[in-house]
A and B are shown apart, each in its own frame.
Chain A
Amino acid sequence: DVKVTQSSRYLVKRTGEKVFLECVQDMDHENMFWYRQDPGLGLRLIYFSYDVKMKEKGDIPEGYSVSREKKERFSLILESASTNQTSMYLCASSLPPAAGELFFGEGSRLTVL
């Protein structure tokens, strides 16, 4: 089975702090994604990576950056956390040609105070 592991299930940070969310997948998937999920807004794509060191902005990239130095690892970085970044963050991976068949991690619930 594909396993997507997110490093932290729950985080509490203060406004202005730098936050790292890490995601590791063990099935050699090319594609990796970061989504956030908010009540009433659904799942929204933050960033997408289709290869090592490659990234594309999703629908809401402002305030976020990503890093993919190794194929199995995709990190989401909040340079200066703000309260409106309080959310559930979901990492996912997929393997072309079934690129839309996403495997999600358990999620990281971030609270910014």
Chain B
Amino acid sequence: QKEVEQNSGPLSVPEGAIASLNCTYSDRVSQSFFWYRQYSGKSPELIMSIYSNGDKEDGRFTAQLNKASQYVSLLIRDSQPSDSATYLCAVNPSSNTGKLIFGQGTTLQVKP
């Protein structure tokens, strides 16, 4: 059974701090990795994708991938209360289908 594991949280950080969200996956042949943000009562939206080992930065967000350790993380710098949401890690075992396996999500609370 292919799995994606996340700590459900809640992860609570003060405004302005760095929030670190972690995810591990079981399928070694996974090719691409995604972070989706889901506000309460809303549908998920893509915030980061990462396809190769290392770091990828986009504004305040940095995704980190380590395929050898089967680990992907999301760092949010200068966290804002508007970042409070559930963050879903998703893994694409096959590069072309988009049939993602989602983790159950980590709830982030950013306190003013």
- Residue pair A48, B98 in contact (C-beta under 8 Å): yes
The minimal Cβ–Cβ distance linking A99 to chain B, given in whole angstroms, is: 3
A113 at the interface (CB under 8 A from B): no
The minimal Cβ–Cβ distance linking B60 to chain A, given in whole angstroms, is: 20
A selection of 28 A-B contacts at a CB cut-off of 8 Å is A31-B98, A33-B98, A40-B104, A41-B104, A42-B103, A43-B44, A43-B88, A44-B102, A45-B100, A48-B97, A48-B98, A48-B99, A50-B97, A56-B99, A98-B49, A99-B92, A99-B95, A99-B98, A100-B90, A101-B98, A102-B34, A102-B36, A102-B44, A102-B46, A102-B98, A104-B44, A105-B43, A106-B42
- Residue pair B92, A104 in contact (C-beta under 8 Å): no
Beyond contacts A56-B99, A100-B34, A100-B100: 9 other A-B pairs, Cβ-Cβ < 8 A, are: A31-B97, A42-B105, A44-B102, A45-B100, A48-B97, A90-B44, A98-B49, A99-B92, A102-B100
A25 at the interface (CB under 8 A from B): no
Which residues does B use to contact A, with CB under 8 Å? 32, 34, 36, 42-46, 49, 88, 90, 92, 95-100, 102-105
Q: Which residues from A are CB-within-8-Å of B43?
A: 90, 104-107
